[in-house]
Structure 1
Amino acid sequence: MDFAFSERSTELQQQVQTFLDEHVYPAEHTFEQQAAAYRAEGNPFRTPAVLADLKQAARAQGLWNLFLPKGHEGSPGLTVLDYAPIAELTGRSGAIAPESMNCSAPDTGNMELMAMFATDEQKQQWLQPLLEGEIRSCFSMTEPDVASSDATNIATRITRDGDSYVVKGRKWWSTGAMRPECKVAIVMGVSNPDAGPHQRHSMILVPLDTPGVTIERSTSVFGYDDGPHGGHGVIDYDCRVPVENLLGPEGGGFMMAQARLGPGRIHHCMRALGMAERAVELMCARAVSRSTFGRPIAQHGVVQEWIAESRLAIEQARLLVLKTAWLIDTVGASKARTEIAAIKVAAPRAASYVLDRAIQVHGGAGVSGDFFLAEAWAQLRTLHFADGPDEVHLRTVARQELRSYLPPR
């Protein structure tokens, strides 16, 4: 295994770090003020104006669409391994850094899907504006009326009717759908109910202004509206779109979902570790600046243990994620399924531990809105079931471990 980053990746890491220091961190307070003002006006998902300035600065420095894998038009030429440390850096300011560089979920996964499977016409209509940062998109897969941890339960129907497909179903956790810039959804549903469980589903592009598409509301995350960068829409689809809107092959929904989730999970995990790194910094700064029972908090053994365990957790998880990124680059995501499942558990688990300890060191301040810790913890907690719950991924790992002990079928 070779985890060495390319020269291009190393250069970009330095550029991104400088961009964070000179542009992103100084803009965080302004972003929060503008978001609070919009929220007070009843527009929690309106994009703070300062983000446009950050996008302009990032693009001028060539820090744009860095996630797009090698081989696709407009790609900066990075491997999955090369991009991993950049994703970690953006996670340090997860509310604004990824989007300022056009590297935020769910658009990254949607753009990768379109780059791989969209027709030329679909790319011109939807992918190009996404790559330019002119619009946003959402991914409608999870449903409120079924246990979506088993994706074969998805019940939304995509039915061919002449020159159209009729899309009928109800989705939720369609992240980004509440944003005014969100113009299109990738919807996954059953197109052939008589096919095998993993050949029944397709994906289709549904413009959100299509008659019959109703965005009902946004779900909250532990009380947070998750605006402006989130906005997890509950969407009712009862609409008709042209046949040309089918994304990829009919019946290829599961295949495409796996293609989307491989690199995407690397991005999620590394952003989570970036969040954890910033939490460690806050924890250490707090521990040396406050005293209890006659000595600095940092001198208490239990706090030193928390700091040490946090460092161990981050380093172990990072190595596993980098190994997985290397495997995707060398043998492909399909042959790294076990490792992809493992990091989806290991990275959020490590980052959750760190966030929890950092909150404890901060005391009451840690659960307040005065620090980023509480909201970050709320977002991170969702990663334990977003893109599949921990239990499903543990099942995948266990089955692989048990394979050599079971009799052949």
Structure 2
Amino acid sequence: MDFTYSEKSLAMAEKLNAFMAEHIIPANREYLRVHDRGEFPLELIQGLKAKAKAAGLWNLFLPSLPEDQPGTRLSNSDYAPLAEIMGRFYWCSEVFNCNPPDTGNMELLHLFGTEEQKQQWFYPLLNGDIRSVFSMTEPDVASSDATNICTTITREGDEYVISGRKWYSSAASHPLAKFTIVMGVTDSSEETPVHRRQSMVIVPLNTPGVRIVRDYTILNHRMTDGICEVVFDQVRVPASNLLGEEGAGFALAQARLGPGRVHHCMRAIGMAELALELMCDRVVQRTAFGKKLADFANNQDLIARSRMEIDQARLLTLQCASKIDNEGNRAATVDVSAIKYVTAIMLQNVADRAMQVYGGAGLTPDTPLAFLFTWGRAMRFLDGPDEVHLRNVARQELKYAKANPGFTEKYMTPYLEE
């Protein structure tokens, strides 16, 4: 299998790297300065977005982008190295309109939205005029199984009434956030299959009854655009805000999470590359016990293991991206689970090693390592915990074993007694 990047992808990567060097790296210090004040650097981001759009570095992630909308229409395989580059600065995906949760929401609106919904929400998202939120996870149930969610979406005449509590609603405190896609239960009948009880509705954030309870940290790191807990208290929206059809919420969630998980993994590989580069730079410069840190065999082992783990994760991710491009999202379900598990663990491990090499400095905000470690740890929950993805891979292996009984005996027969 050939994972050589296409000429189009390489050209875009060169263009993106040049943009990063000219605009993103110089802006990083200002971004972090504003972030540390607890504010969102909206003016900075909006200025960079205008430059990215003018440079043709816009909506890089959506292969089936409508022809009349701005974007590059890259395949998942071609997008992979670009996502890696953006991943080196966790905040900069928004500059190129390639940031979650907007990318996943755009996928949903593109695939299942009505023309009215597209005009009101999809096209402004594609243009970078607004931001969006996705509200599925709940604090009171094991949301790794989406059939457990308790938020209710009740039809009353020409309206839906939503009541429930969500958390990990990312970007809810972003100053441009205008709506959230809420997943809830529309049919609680025991006769209805559990995977047909959920639906999704679009809820403008300024609707009466929507309340952001808190914007919390993850491992004491505050995300600038918010990781929020949101309450929906008898929130009323028009029935026309239903996304897709009633009972299709679970299927829509799967359609949304597949590409989103792949994008997370691509960015995580870029984060790990940054951690490895910082680690190598540290060991060739730092002296301890009369020797450069690079001369100690244990540090060399950390570097070698990190390089191999990054490359393994990248190859697995590219294989998954290729399958999605050629066979569709459904065919790559197990592959997505595999890379989601492998890449999150890899990022956490590489960042941890780099932190160890940096000593006390690795625990401080003086380097991005503490955040990279935090994000690797968070990835082991977001878009499904490790356990769910491991189970998906195991099920596939066991399915093959059950379909091929006697496999062991076929190979053991020569060694068994007559």
The TM-score, its normalising length taken from structure 1, stands at 0.95
Say whether 1:59 aligns with 2:53. Answer: yes
Residue in 1 aligned with 2:104?
109
1:49 Cα deviation after fit? 2.5
String of CA shifts for 1:99-124, please: whole Å, max 9, x gaps.
11111111111111111111000000
**Which residue identity lines up with residue 21 of structure 2 in the other structure?**
D
CA distance in 2, matches of 1:34, 1:351: 26
String of CA shifts for 1:198-237, please: whole Å, max 9, x gaps.
11111100000001111111121111222x23x1111111
Aligned with 1:72 (options 62, 66, 85): 66
> More deviation in 217-226 or 338-347?
217-226
Residue in 1 aligned with 2:285?
289
Q: Mapping of 1:166-315 within 5 angstroms?
A: 166-194=161-189, 195-226=192-223, 228-229=224-225, 231-238=226-233, 239-315=235-311
Q: Gapped runs of 5+ residues in structure 2?
A: 405-418
CA distance in 2, matches of 1:349, 1:36: 28
1:8 Cα deviation after fit? 2.0
1:70–1:76 CA contact under 8 A, matched in 2: no
1:2–1:326 CA contact under 8 A, matched in 2: no
Residue in 1 aligned with 2:408?
none
1:69–1:78 CA contact under 8 A, matched in 2: yes
CA distance in 1, matches of 2:283, 2:42: 33
Aligned with 1:345 (options 320, 341, 347): 341
**Which residue identity lines up with residue 212 of structure 1 in the other structure?**
G
2:345–2:376 CA contact under 8 A, matched in 1: no
String of CA shifts for 1:166-205, please: whole Å, max 9, x gaps.
1111100000001121110000001111221111111100
1:317 Cα deviation after fit? 0.3
Q: SS where residue 167 of structure 1 aligns?
A: strand
CA distance in 2, matches of 1:114, 1:210: 20
Q: SS where residue 195 of structure 2 aligns?
A: coil
CA distance in 1, matches of 2:230, 2:41: 21
CA distance in 1, matches of 2:167, 2:325: 32
Q: Gapped runs of 5+ residues in structure 1?
A: none
CA distance in 2, matches of 1:172, 1:7: 42
Residue in 2 aligned with 1:136?
131
> More deviation in 264-273 or 5-14?
5-14
Say whether 1:147 aligns with 2:142. Answer: yes
Residue in 2 aligned with 1:404?
400
1:380 Cα deviation after fit? 2.1
CA distance in 2, matches of 1:404, 1:125: 46
CA distance in 2, matches of 1:344, 1:304: 27
The TM-score, its normalising length taken from structure 2, stands at 0.93
1:86 Cα deviation after fit? 0.8
Residue in 2 aligned with 1:336?
332
1:270–1:321 CA contact under 8 A, matched in 2: yes
Aligned with 2:383 (options 357, 373, 387): 387
Say whether 1:3 aligns with 2:3. Answer: yes
Say whether 1:319 aligns with 2:320. Answer: no
Task: Give the superposed CA RMSD.
Answer: 1.3
**Which residue identity lines up with residue 92 of structure 1 in the other structure?**
R
Aligned residues between the structures? 399
**Which residue identity lines up with residue 85 of structure 2 in the other structure?**
L
CA distance in 1, matches of 2:79, 2:162: 36
Cα distance 1:48–1:124, how it changes in 2: closer, same or farther (>3 A)? Answer: closer
CA distance in 1, matches of 2:357, 2:218: 23
1:189–1:201 CA contact under 8 A, matched in 2: yes
Identical residues among aligned pairs (%): 51
CA distance in 2, matches of 1:98, 1:28: 13
CA distance in 2, matches of 1:119, 1:310: 46
1:56 Cα deviation after fit? 1.6
CA distance in 1, matches of 2:295, 2:12: 38
1:6 Cα deviation after fit? 3.0
Q: Which structure has the higher relative contact order (CA within 8 Å, separation 6+)?
A: 1
1:140–1:186 CA contact under 8 A, matched in 2: yes
String of CA shifts for 1:75-113, please: whole Å, max 9, x gaps.
422111111111111001112x20111111111111111
Aligned with 1:126 (options 110, 115, 121): 121
